[in-house]
Structure 1
Amino acid sequence: MARGSSGIVAGLTTAALAAVGFLAYQASANAPDSVAAPKPTVSASAPATGHDKPKDKKPPAVLPVGSGTGKRVVYALKDRQVWLVDEAGKAVRTFEVMPSALSPKPGTYQVGTPRQGPPTKGSDGVMIEHVVRFTMVEGVSVGFSAAVDGSMESPDPTLKTGGVRMSRADGDAVWEFATIRTKVVVVP
């Protein structure tokens, strides 16, 4: 009977550990944000996720050929990269972005009137700041913006939005650099 008892005890112990593990998982998955472990966010130096981008691809360091001359913002659609280029043609800052659902065609645009004042709600419901618009696609304004919460992804990528998202620090840099009538060059 001792042998049978130890097998039963081992089976009960295994079942109890599995149940505790399952309950712990359920509790962590349903915990409110105020007590849940912090969720990872995308930073300016980390690769963005979603939109079928390979996770191991590093952003290009070289300004794209054929991206214009003079002071400009260069936005590479495929590479999900933005460069701020000074009057001498030198890239003074480069960073990754999360593309909008509606992307502009390659070409040269001009910054329109940026939104001024406090943060506002984007068309996807996210609070954003430092909106720098440069074109319209399908009747929707397209421009650069930073989410106030620091996230780069829209909660619903199926919405027809035109916000090219970036980190708050990069959003601050674009806001300062891309004044009205600054060129925005979109490359494939």
Structure 2
Amino acid sequence: MARSSSGIVAGLTAVALAAVGFLAYQASATAPAKPAAGAPQQQQPAAGAPAQPTAPQAPGKPGPVPENSGTGTRVVYSVGQKRVWLVGAAGTEPRSFAVMPSTVHPKPGSYAVSSRSGAVTGSDGVAVEHVVRFTLSEGVVIGFSARADGQMPAPDPAKKTGGIRMSRADGDALWNFATINTKVVVVP
């Protein structure tokens, strides 16, 4: 007894959807659910710290690396300034660039890069590249990435997303700088 073509299409569609779901599950399973033993501790936000990021810093030369961001080689992410600094060896000028925060924000504190992916689908369903993950907040993996299409729109406020987006050029720079265990400091 021959199957109808609509039955075959429905079956193939179901198999394809199951495969995509499985791959999405595998990608999300690679992010740690909680910090490993000995990982840097997260700090609670200071009283009165902003819950949402404020307007990005004015164009032009970026401000200095925030004073309360620690020392040594590190990635500094200011939620309020919507800005990242790549702080290298002493005496070198840090690279700084504007970012588009996600809808779920990491708490201020010190973290370490826990995983990286060259190209995946982001929590908002968009193809992203150079993903550098460093924490989990509200059940959402938080990390830096660049959209493969080069855009940086504001995230949908109705969705819980964790991708802190940047231009593709800045994403390349962060990818080359922030390897596994690189310190990431989040400031308000």
TM-score (norm: length of structure 1): 0.66
Within 5 A, what are the aligned runs for 1:30-179? 53=55, 57-58=58-59, 60-88=62-90, 90-116=92-118, 119-154=119-154, 156-179=156-179
Unaligned runs of 5+ in 2: 1-52
> SS at 1:66's partner residue?
helix
Do the aligned residues in 1 keep the contact of 2:111 with 2:135 (CA within 8 Å)?
yes
Cα RMSD after superposing both structures = 1.9
| 1: CA distance, partners of 2:93 / 2:185 | 13
Letter in 1 for 2:163: G
Equivalent pairs counted in the alignment come to 135
Q: Compared with structure 1, are the counterparts of its residues 167 and 95 closer, same or farther at alpha carbon in structure 2 (3 Å cutoff)?
A: same
Do the aligned residues in 2 keep the contact of 1:152 with 1:167 (CA within 8 Å)?
yes
Larger mean CA deviation between 126-135 and 145-154 belongs to 145-154
| 1: CA distance, partners of 2:114 / 2:54 | 30
| 1: CA distance, partners of 2:158 / 2:129 | 21
> What is residue 16 of structure 2 aligned with on the other side?
none
| 2: CA distance, partners of 1:89 / 1:68 | 15
Cα deviation, residue 143, structure 1:
0.3
> SS at 1:164's partner residue?
strand
| 2: CA distance, partners of 1:52 / 1:94 | 17
Do the aligned residues in 1 keep the contact of 2:103 with 2:155 (CA within 8 Å)?
no
| 2: CA distance, partners of 1:125 / 1:154 | 14
1:50-104 deviation line (CA, Å, top 9, x unaligned): x7627x8347421111211110000011000100001326443100000011000
Unaligned runs of 5+ in 1: 1-50
Cα deviation, residue 154, structure 1:
4.9
TM-score (norm: length of structure 2): 0.66
